[in-house]
Amino acid sequence: MFLSPPFADSQPPDVTHNTTSTPSMSVGLRPSAVLNQRPAAADRVNRYGGTGDTGDGGSTGGTGRWKVSAKIQQLLNTLKRPKRRPLPEFYEDDDIELEIAANPKDPNAPKPEGSCMSPAVGEQLIIPSGLPRSLEAAITRYGNATFKASVATVLDPNGKLSVTLTYGKLLSRSHKIAYALLTKSFSKNGDTSLKSGDRVALVYPNNDPINFLCAFYGCLQAGIVPVPIEVPITRRDAGSLQIGFLLGSCAVQVALTSEACLKGLPKTTSGEVIQFKGWPKLTWFVTEHLAKTPKDWLPTPRLTDETPAYIEYSTDRDGSVMGVTITRAAMVQHCRMLTMACNYTEGENMVCVLDFKREVGLWHSVLTSVLNGMHVIYIPYALMKVNPASWMQMITKHRACVAVVKSRDLHWGLLATKDHKDVNLGSLRMLLVADGANPWSLSSCDQFLSVFQSKGLRADAICPCASSSEVMTVSVRRPGRGGVNATGRGVLSMQGLSYGVVRVDQENSLTSLTLQDCGQVMPGCVIVVVKMEGPAYLCKTDEVGEICVNSGATGTQYWGLQGLSNTTFHVQPLGTDGKPISDAEYTRSGLLGFLGTD
């Protein structure tokens, strides 16, 4: 590329681009192309190169071309760079404009035609007579009255019953842990001690529910807030980094674990647990083999209902981890709601395949089961990989009434055909499918029923549910509910769903999607569906939106994230007139759906 028009002979070139006589100059030009058009005597570059006169008005070096000094070349390269954006432009959010431009509105898109929805109200919560008033009271009652009754059993990798925890042992071990947490100094210089309200991490592998149970209830007895997390594997584990942020925001200084888990953690050369990337400095405490509590020691007096009971981690779509705070009142209320909806009773056997540290696995197999004095048989995930029919074999052997699974477990159970001959599911009154809100769970449920109906499985025993960490259980299909309304499913148009509109389609159509219901609204709950974008306006009856829940059994905040908490846990749905439908505050579930007819 060459300059146009060329420089005048009388003016030396200005490589700093500051002269007024060369407005069309481009810093993108090659220096040799510029310099070959002017006399040597008038060029500043001449003094830097070993050049000589040629007699024809040009000067050359040893190679026959002008050489540019390194400093001037660096200046030219600097001028080529784009100018830095003005500071205010960095704060201009143009994502919305770009999204609108990329997704133009389709004028032919289907639009919701129904009326504005009304809040769906669950049945009145009726607390069964004789149910303990709290989880601590439940442990005390069953630990004394039925101390030999089993609370938890875990299978070993060979599928054999390895360890069983009784209610008496749970009571004594939880007291030992509570006493140690409140009286022990957790650092060499004595500056780390715990008091009621402090947070501690619970780090137990998925094959150790018994130590987890004792530690969790030990924290409740001491008034300390447990934060169950996954076992870290490596120093730079990406998921562990997000967990570290959660632990730091919760001011966690102590991690409770088992002896076996502590041995498996990566160590430094001095034998101490390594400092995981992004984690606060922790003191690791083994909750086994503790000394007896003094005879005159009593657990912390009953705390207020609004005191945090535990913090459950929730993962956002972008991978960030937040801690959902569950109060003592919400924890007990949720257990009561599950007791009524699932018709739990004392002495029942439950088989659990889920992660017992969070969500459905925690709520059913650790909390509600203890409130009702039940016995839970835990199936480790590693055993499921080796023997996917192990959970059905345990139902058969122990005549379990309840099983808590995911649709993947139903699918794996179908593949273990060689183990089907000895299976009998006649005792099962409730097969709780934790991920029933996912569209792909329907085929697993249908196929499982078709294969195992001959093995005693009843159609009304399959109970999908919907839940999230923020609102806990949204809905669950009631066990033993017969008649035409026992189950619900709809064949919907995928085109309509892509626009957030509910439209019925023909069955087996290539453009249709068959969905199953997730049961009825929980007792004592009120549910609304609000628009996915913008203000929280109520959806129409044929419109898909985000499900919001009002009840005494939801989370209260993301720990340490007040702004995000306000937009999630303190939502007031708006009617068509733009005014709140009531003074009640709802919590966003993060689940999309719509309400069908019951």
**Token match 């309304």: residue?**
485
Rounded to whole angstroms, how far apart are CA atoms 267 and 262? Answer: 10
Give per-residue pLDDT as tens, 409-468: 999 999 888 878 899 999 999 999 999 888 888 999 999 999 999 999 999 999 999 999
Whether the CB-CB separation of 479 and 430 falls below 8 Å is answered with: yes
| Range with lowest mean pLDDT among 21-35, 57-71, 278-292, 448-462 | 21-35
Residue 72's Cβ-count burial label (10 Å; 0-12, 13-18, 19+) is middle
Q: What is the pTM of this model?
A: 0.81
Q: Residue 67 — very low, low, confident or very high, per pLDDT cuts 50/70/90?
A: low
Residue 247 burial (10 A CB sphere; 0-12, 13-18, 19+): buried
Instruction: Report d(CA 266, CA 286) in Å as an integer.
Output: 16
pLDDT, tens digit (0-9, with 9 covering 90-100), for 474-511 = 999 999 876 555 667 888 999 999 889 999 988 888 88
CA distances from 567 to 70, 170, 525, 572 (A): 57, 39, 20, 10
Look at residue 28 and tell me if it is in a domain. Answer: no
Do the domain assignments include residue 41? no
- Name the H helices within 57-116: 70-80, 95-102
Can you state the angle between helices 441-452 and 407-415, rounded to 10 degrees?
40
% pLDDT > 90, the chain: 63
Neighbouring residues of 212: CB distance < 8 A, sequence distance ≥ 6: 202, 204, 228, 356, 357, 366
CB atoms within 10 A of CB 165: 20
Q: Could you tell me the pLDDT band of residue 227, with boundaries at 50, 70 and 90?
A: very high
Statement: residue 242 has pLDDT above 50: yes
Q: How many domains does the chain have?
A: 1
Please state the separation of Cα 479 from the chain's center in Å: 28
pLDDT at 11 over 50: no
pLDDT of residue 60: 43
Structural domain includes residue 35: no
The residues pairing with 528 across neighbouring beta strands, listed in sequence order, are 548
The beta strand positions in 434-564, using DSSP E, are: 462-468, 472-476, 489-493, 512-516, 520-521, 526-530, 545-550, 557-558
Residue 211 pLDDT more than 90?
A: yes
Structural contact between residues 335 and 135, judged by C-beta atoms closer than 8 angstroms: yes
> Which residue would you say has higher pLDDT here, 26 or 175?
175
As given in the structure block, the two tokens for residue 569 are 């846990």
The separation between the first and the last C-alpha atoms of the chain, rounded to the nearest angstrom, is 76
So what's the pLDDT on residue 7? 38
Contacts of 14 (CB under 8 A, 6+ apart): 22
Q: Can you tell me the distance from the alpha carbon of 157 to that of 445, in angstroms, rounded to the nearest whole number?
A: 27
Residue 274 has pLDDT above 70, yes or no: yes
From 82-96, 182-196, 366-380, 553-567, the region with the lowest mean pLDDT:
82-96
Residues sharing a CB contact under 8 Å with residue 598, sequence separation 6 or more, in sequence order:
485, 520
How does 431-443 read in b/e, with b if 16+ C-beta sit within 10 Å?
bbbbbbbbeebbe
- CA gap 536, 532 in Å, rounded: 8
**pLDDT exceeds 90 at position 71:** no
Q: Is residue 104 part of a domain?
A: no
pLDDT at residue 596 in the model? 82
CATH number at residue 583: 3.40.50.12780
Cβ 391 vs Cβ 413: under 8 Å? yes
CB 484 within 8 A of CB 459: no
Quote the CA–CA distance of 381 and 302 in Å, as a whole number. 36
Structural domain includes residue 470: yes
Under the banding of pLDDT at 50, 70 and 90, the label for residue 76 is: confident
Closest to 153 in 3D by CA, of 485, 505, 411, 390: 390
At 39, which amino acid appears?
P
Strand pairing category for 59-60 and 52-53: antiparallel
Tell me what the mean pLDDT of segment 320-334 comes to: 97
pLDDT of residue 52: 44
Span of 29-43, 304-318, 482-496, 535-549 with lowest mean pLDDT = 29-43
pLDDT (mean) for 311-324: 91
Reading the block at residue 567, the tokens are 């937009």
Residue 310: pLDDT band (50, 70, 90) is very high
Contacts of 194 (CB under 8 A, 6+ apart): 181, 182, 184, 186, 200, 222, 224, 254
Task: Grade residue 300 by pLDDT with cuts at 50, 70 and 90.
Answer: confident
Residue 422 lies in a domain: yes
Please, which pLDDT band fits residue 567 given cuts at 50, 70 and 90?
very high
Q: Does 94 or 276 have the greater pLDDT score?
A: 276
Residue 88 is predicted with a pLDDT of: 64
Q: Which of 14-18, 26-30, 324-328, 509-513 has the lowest mean pLDDT?
A: 26-30
Cα 547 from chain centre: 17
DSSP H/E element including 449: helix 441-452
Does residue 516 lie within any of the structural domains? yes
Q: Which residue has the tokens 């008496």?
A: 168
Alpha helices (H) in 458-531, listed in sequence order: 494-498
Nearest Cα neighbor of 214 from 165, 173, 253 is 173
The reported pLDDT for the residue numbered 598 is: 60
Beta bridge partners of 465: 476
Q: What is the predicted pLDDT for the residue at 103? A: 67
Whether 24 is covered by a domain: the verdict is: no
- pLDDT (average), residues 340-346: 96
Token match 């059993």: residue? 153
**What tokens does 125 get?**
């919560």
What percentage of the chain carries pLDDT values higher than 70?
Answer: 82
Q: Which of 140-149, 391-400, 410-419 has the lowest mean pLDDT?
A: 410-419
Cα 128 to Cα 336, 345, 429, 519, distances in angstroms: 8, 9, 19, 21
Average pLDDT, the chain: 85
**Residue 554 confidence (pLDDT) above 50:** yes
Cα angle 14-15-19, degrees, rounded to a multiple of 5: 35
CB count within 10 Å of CB 149 equals 16
Residues spanned by the domain of 331? 136-593
pLDDT on residue 79 = 74
The per-residue pLDDT for 373 is 98
